[in-house]
Amino acid sequence: MYVETWEKCLQFIQDRIPPQSFKTWFEPIIPLNLEGNVLTIQVPSQFFYEWLEENYVHLLKQAIRSEIGEKGRLEYSVVMDRGDEQTKPLTVSVSGSSNSQNKNRVNGFDKYKNPDFLEELQNNSNLNPNYLFDNFIEGDCNRLARSAGFAVAQKPGVTSFNPLMFYGGVGLGKTHLVQAIGNQIKSDNRGKSIIYVASEKFTNQFIEALKNNNIQDFINYYKEVDVLIIDDIQFLRDKEKTQEIFFHIFNHLHQSGKQIILTSDCAPKDLKGLQERLVSRFKWGLTADLKQPDFETRMAIIQKKMQNDGISIPDQVIEYIAYSVDTNVRELEGVVISLIAHASLTKREIDLELSKQILKNIVHDIDSEVGIDYIQKTVSDFFSVAQDDLKAKTRKKEIVIARQVAMYFSKDYTNHSLKSIGYHFGGRDHSTVIHAVQSVNDMIDTNAKFRYSIEELKKKLKFKTHAV
Ligand code: ADP
Ligand code: MG
């Protein structure tokens, strides 16, 4: 019965929106139940749920009304964790629109009604349930940090990684990783108290406590936690009093075998404005840095993100995004989200064409056409030689090879004549270019490692040549 009802709703909806939007946002929905006037549907993710509520709430209401009647209502069951063969997916129920309280619950951020300071401290571990090891993609860029984090999550306070400190630029996964540790410990140890706090919030709590004569409460409270996670410790810079209190708490926790986890945007030695005695404590444990993700890791992150949101896009598009956005994961996610949003708003499929259009507005260095200069830059970066050397007289072996490869691609990927190519490489003769192309072809045939380099470079150049 409920299946049929939902089928009819789908027909109603299908007639009113473009096929691609229907496919993306309605086909993945599974009807679960119809009880009285309430139809329950399962959606693949929280993002999905929010998207439906933002964009299709009216349409859904109309459909429900036309199929169930004026009193018809919709409830969502949001899949929070897909589970695997052994465990069932974890779902959370939410009512459709108009019920904002439930919306809060699905986010996992229950608000406190009682503003009392200590109660707020006690009740709020501040862990965001979406940050897990499971959805943290491992790559060379984060392997050490992730493994250390994982070890600490298994045995908080027991390993020599205490304190455990992650550092690295914005958007590289520091917060995700420390939250994942917190969530893991929380789910494995019911009794343990875990606090995640951003250092700014820690500072504000401290100031608040000062104002209210509550310092002792503040200190006692933090002294009692089993796992203390302080994010973005660099914001304690120049806050002498806060550093002092933190130093005190730190020592107490460390001596009692409690786990301390910290993050910072730079290496401990570069933490200016933090007391030396504090910084030297950070070095007692393990510091691990998070780097920019490489291409494969970026691919995996995009794939995972799409999968989590129950959306599929062509591999070619994923590759394109991974090539184009190499700064940090947050930016990568941002691009993916705007892509999904754009596709739905403009009612277009997510294809390479659309991705290029969108990325043009987001990523700055995508220029329209691959040129000799771009090839020279890409090739010289790849072989770690200076771009100017490609045009110079030098006959050093590695430079000669890079120069020949750049000529080879210039011939293949641009419309320049041999003469013009020679000109762009320090005024060389066209026969030099012919010779370069031949040498490169020979090496491709005889040297596997070289062949692989050429393939890599082709990938790097490929999307440029496609660009509009
Ligand atoms: P930071 O705290 O270093 O600025 P975040 O932890 O906030 O970075 O990460 C930014 C975004 O990128 C978050 O949405 C996070 O989930 C995601 N992210 C970062 N690293 C990874 C990773 N290795 N795998 C999956 N998602 C990641
Ligand atoms: Mg962060």
HEC string of the chain equals CHHHHHHHHHHHHHCCCCHHHHHHHCCCCEEEEEECCEEEEEECCHHHHHHHHHHCHHHHHHHHHHHHCCCCEEEEEEEEECCCCCCCCEEEEEECCCCHHHHHHHHCCCCCCCCCHHHHHHHCCCCCCCCCCCCCCCCCCCHHHHHHHHHHHHCCCCCCCCCEEEECCCCCCHHHHHHHHHHHHHHHCCCCCEEEEEHHHHHHHHHHHHHCCCHHHHHHHHHCCCEEEEECHHHHCCCHHHHHHHHHHHHHHHHCCCEEEEEECCCHHHCCCCCHHHHHHHCCCEEEECCCCCHHHHHHHHHHHHHHCCCCCCHHHHHHHHHHCCCCHHHHHHHHHHHHHHHHHCCCCCCHHHHHHHHHHHCCCCCCCCCHHHHHHHHHHHCCCCHHHHHCCCCCHHHHHHHHHHHHHHHHHCCCCHHHHHHHCCCCCHHHHHHHHHHHHHHHHHCHHHHHHHHHHHHHHHHHHHCC
Sign of the four-CA dihedral 122, 123, 124, 127: positive
Give 34-55 pLDDT, tens digit per residue.
Answer: 998 999 999 887 667 877 887 8
Contact status, residue 178 vs residue 210, Cβ threshold 8 Å: no
Residue 456 CA to residue 237 CA, distance in Å, equals 43
**pLDDT at res. 93:** 61
Nearest residue (by CA) to ligand 1, atom 14, is 330
**pLDDT at res. 115:** 42
Strand-pairing partners, residue 38, are: 35, 73
**pLDDT at res. 203:** 95
For a mutational test of ligand 1's pocket, the pick from 142, 183, 329, i.e. the residue with the most ligand atoms closer than 8 A to its C-beta, is 329
Q: Rounded to the nearest whole angstrom, what is the distance from the C-alpha of residue 463 to the centroid of ligand 2?
A: 31
176 in ligand 1 pocket by Cβ < 6 Å? yes
**pLDDT at res. 97:** 53
Indicate the Cα dihedral angle 184, 187, 188, 190, nearest 10°.
140
Which residues does the chain have with pLDDT short of 70? 46-47, 80-124, 361-370, 462-468
Tokens of 229: 């996670």
For a mutational test of ligand 1's pocket, the pick from 176, 299, 333, i.e. the residue with the most ligand atoms closer than 8 A to its C-beta, is 176
Contact status, residue 163 vs residue 261, Cβ threshold 8 Å: yes
For a mutational test of ligand 1's pocket, the pick from 330, 335, 337, i.e. the residue with the most ligand atoms closer than 8 A to its C-beta, is 330
Strand-pairing partners, residue 196, are: 229
Nearest residue (by CA) to ligand 1, atom 18, is 173
Q: Rounded to the nearest whole angstrom, what is the distance from the C-alpha of residue 235 to the centroid of ligand 2?
A: 12
Contact status, residue 194 vs residue 125, Cβ threshold 8 Å: yes
Contact status, residue 375 vs residue 427, Cβ threshold 8 Å: no
**Prior bond of 89 cis (ω within 30°):** no
Nearest-ligand number for the alpha carbon of 174: 1
Residue 116 CA to residue 142 CA, distance in Å, equals 39
199 in ligand 1 pocket by Cβ < 6 Å? no
Residue 208 CA to residue 212 CA, distance in Å, equals 6
Contact status, residue 206 vs residue 241, Cβ threshold 8 Å: yes
Residue 345 CA to residue 361 CA, distance in Å, equals 16
Contacts for 463 with CB less than 8 Å, ≥ 6 apart? 319, 320, 323, 324
CB-facing half-sphere around the CA of 31: CA atoms within 13 A: 17
152 in ligand 1 pocket by Cβ < 6 Å? no
Strand-pairing partners, residue 33, are: 40
Residue 455 CA to residue 458 CA, distance in Å, equals 5
Q: Rounded to the nearest whole angstrom, what is the distance from the C-alpha of residue 185 to the centroid of ligand 1?
A: 19
Nearest-ligand number for the alpha carbon of 177: 1
**pLDDT at res. 258:** 96
Residue 199 CA to residue 128 CA, distance in Å, equals 16
C-alpha 285, offset from chain centre? 27
175 in ligand 1 pocket by Cβ < 6 Å? yes
Nearest-ligand number for the alpha carbon of 128: 1
430: number of Cβ within 10 Å: 14
Distances in Å between the alpha carbon of 360 and those of 1, 365, 467? Answer: 48, 8, 10
For residue 131, which atom of ligand 1 is closest to its CA? 16
**pLDDT at res. 339:** 82
For residue 137, which atom of ligand 1 is closest to its CA? 24
172 in ligand 1 pocket by Cβ < 6 Å? yes
For residue 232, which atom of ligand 1 is closest to its CA? 2
Q: Residue 155: phi, psi to the nearest 5? A: -135, 70
Nearest residue (by CA) to ligand 1, atom 13, is 330
Residue 185 carries which side chain, given as an amino acid letter?
I
149 in ligand 1 pocket by Cβ < 6 Å? no
Contacts for 205 with CB less than 8 Å, ≥ 6 apart? 117, 121, 197, 218
